Amino acid sequence: MFRQVGSVQKLVIMTFAVLILVLFSDVLATPLGGYADQRLVLSFVSGLLAFITILSFARHSQIGKRFSGTVLFPTLILSLAFFLLAFSFRSQRYVWVEPVMYAFFFLAAFASGFWLACSSCGAEFTRILILLVAATCTLYGLASVNVYLFATFDGVTKLVDFIPWGFVNIRYWSHIATWCLPLIPLAVLVGPLKKVRIWRIIVMLGAGMWWWILFLTMGRGSILGIAFGVVFVTLLFGRRVFPWLKVFLQYLLAGIVIWLLLSVVIPSFMESGIQVRTIKADSSGRIPLFIEAWKMSLQNFPFGMGPQSWLTHEPITEAYATGKKFGHPHNMYLMWAAEYGWLLIAAMGLVVIQAIRNFWRRRAELLDSDDSNQLLLLAGFTASVSAALFHAGVSAVFMAPGSMLVGLFVLIGFWALILPGGDFSKVERPLLNPGRRVLIGGLVSMVFLIFWALWMGEVWRYYQDMRADEPYYLEHESEGTLPRFWFHGNFPRN
């Protein structure tokens, strides 16, 4: 991929640009709208990272040999599964936009993380990543104070119409919270700024604002996911993770104090007060969606009903036929099983087993060592990833483009931390001579670039056709916008 320091620098630039795009799309006034721009950037970045890693492995046969034994097999099986399971539906419109997106996404995440581990740059990248996450999230949280003040001075009582800002739906913000809140405490525990007092105070205020927004919106999926990640990590690492847990709880307490101040004390002096959302005890209509997706997964077992068939299939259950519609079943695993079949879930299982095996080995190494920084990094990233995987069971964490963009770099960091490192820059006897490596790299590059260009063209045509369909849909349909690949997601339709 990239060489040593250069790899980290380029990934850092990408990460910073992604975080700014996701959190501040309103300020940037992006040309196509935040959702569409983020989807296009996701398509470009994941394809670019997949391309660079494949090219690097093709040119460096020694790394490629080790890659095939650790990451290549399960990752390529998963990526190819999206292609193969979509192939029988190739006559349908836009059939390749989503399977190729997922193939690039997982390949880019796992292969990039592996290359960082091979280059012994994983820890360096993760340290910079948590600083970027903490800085951008803190800036977003502190900027929310201005939004709050303008809203309250204007007599607004329903703050959730304005906060979180910059997101078309509060669920898309809660996805980002799930990925980021477990990582933010690491910014004051690991890295060059951990002893800077003003930095610790600013980060605490920023994290507290994020917790306040989460309490304000009552994002159950995010709250439950983060709670699961924290408990899971505490059980896995025990007392060694207490420094991270202590800071995490401090930020949670700061969020509670800010919530009491901004949502209880200040509104008590206002004549109209402020409406406070409560945690719903029901499933918000998700159970009929889960059952429908489950029934779909059994219709063409184990191959699924095809990409985007959730949008186009005839309803199977009466509850779904007569209930509220969404662009996805609010469960990524059931959606993949319904559209790509249980064979895809089995392919994902290979990657999960591989991750568990490498994680467990790395965990044992760190528990036996005195490297508390590395252990805390692994604990924080494990909490983030496990929280997101839990949240994906009740929301579109791996469908919303902002969540996928942030998750891409978090997964890269996680994979770089759990895989064994090594320096492959000093290999003395490559398996292939330089001329043949250049030839193979050139052929792989040409084929990949042609395929990537064709797919990006299909993505753009899909966007144009969706926009052309949007006025008709809004005029003649009563289901409202159903975000999926694009924000107007109920397209194509039967």
In the predicted model, is pLDDT for residue 428 greater than 90? no
The tens digit of pLDDT for each residue in 85-127 reads 999 998 888 999 999 999 999 999 998 888 888 777 888 899 9
Type of residue numbered 477: E
260 vs 64, which has greater pLDDT?
A: 260
Mean pLDDT of the chain: 87
CB–CB of 117/8 below 8 Å? Answer: no
| Dist. CA 249–CA 208, nearest whole Å | 10
DSSP readout, 431-465?
Answer: SS-HHHHHHHHHHHHHHHHHHHHHHHHHHHHHHHH
Instruction: List helix spans (H) across 24-121.
Output: 25-28, 34-59, 61-67, 73-87, 97-118
**How many helices and strands in the chain, by DSSP H and E?**
20, 0
Interval 127-138: pLDDT, tens = 999 999 999 999
- The encoded tokens of residue 363 equal 């965990």
The single residue listed with the structure tokens 């159970």 is 287
Phi-psi region of 454 (alpha: psi -120 to 50; beta: other; left: phi over 0): alpha
User: What is the average per-residue pLDDT within 328-352?
Assistant: 96
Measured CA distances, 346 to 129, 212, 333, 406 (Å): 31, 39, 11, 25
Q: According to the model, what pLDDT value does residue 238 have?
A: 93
Task: Check residue 465 and give its pLDDT.
Answer: 93
Q: What is the pLDDT of residue 429?
A: 45
CA dihedral 230, 234, 237, 243 (to 10 degrees): 80
- SS (HEC) of 309-330: HHHHCCCCCHHHHHCCCCCCCC
Cα 494 from Cα 487, distance rounded (Å): 18
Query: What does DSSP assign to residue 485?
Result: S
Comparing 385 with 280, the larger pLDDT belongs to 385
Q: For the beta carbon of residue 482, count every other beta carbon within 10 angstroms.
A: 19
121 — phi, psi (to 5°)? -110, 5
Average pLDDT over residues 362-377: 92
| 262, 287 Cβ separation under 8 angstroms | no
Q: Is 136 helix (H, G, I), strand (E, B) or coil?
A: helix
Average pLDDT on 473-487 reads 86
What pLDDT digit, counting tens, does each position of 226-244 carry? 999 999 999 999 999 999 9
Q: Is residue 36 predicted with pLDDT exceeding 60?
A: yes
Q: Can the peptide bond before residue 430 be classed as cis, meaning omega within 30 degrees of 0?
A: no
Q: What is the pLDDT of residues 188-220, one digit of tens each?
A: 999 888 889 999 999 999 999 999 999 988 888
Contact call for residues 134 and 16 (beta carbons, < 8 A): no
Domain ranges of the chain: 4-281+329-470
Q: Which pLDDT belongs to residue 76?
A: 87
End-to-end alpha carbon distance in the chain: 42
Is a pLDDT exceeding 60 seen at residue 274? Answer: no
